[in-house]
Structure 1
Amino acid sequence: MGILGWIILGLIAGAIAKAIMPGRDPGGIIITMLLGIVGAIVGGFIGQALFGTDINTFFSLSTWLLAILGSLVVLGIYRLVTGNRARA
Structure 2
Amino acid sequence: MEMGIIAWIILGALSGWIASMITGNDARMGAVANIIVGIIGAFIGGLIFRFLGGQGVTGFNIWSALVSIVGAVVLLLIVNAIRK
TM surpasses 0.5: yes
Q: How many residues align?
A: 80
Q: CA RMSD in A?
A: 2.2
Whole-angstrom distance in 2 between the partners of 1:71 and 1:49: 16
Larger Rg: 1
Distance 1:6 1:51, change over 3 A: farther
- What one-letter code is carried by the residue in structure 1 that aligns with 2:37? L
Aligned to 2:22: 20
Tell me how far apart the structure 2 counterparts of residues 32 and 79 of structure 1 sit (CA, whole Å): 15
Paired position in structure 2 for 1:34 = 36
TM-score by length of 2: 0.72
Kindly, what percent of the aligned residue pairs are identical? Answer: 31
CA-to-aligned-CA distance 1:37-77 (integer Å, 9 cap, x gap): 10112212332342232632312x32221111001001111
Unaligned runs of 5+ in 2: none
Which residue of 1 is the match for residue 76 of structure 2? 75
Normalized against structure 1, the TM-score is what? Answer: 0.69
TM-superposed deviation, 1:13: 0.1
Name 1:66's counterpart in structure 2.
67
**Equivalent position SS for 1:20:** helix
Runs (4 or more) in structure 1 with deviation over 6 Å come to none
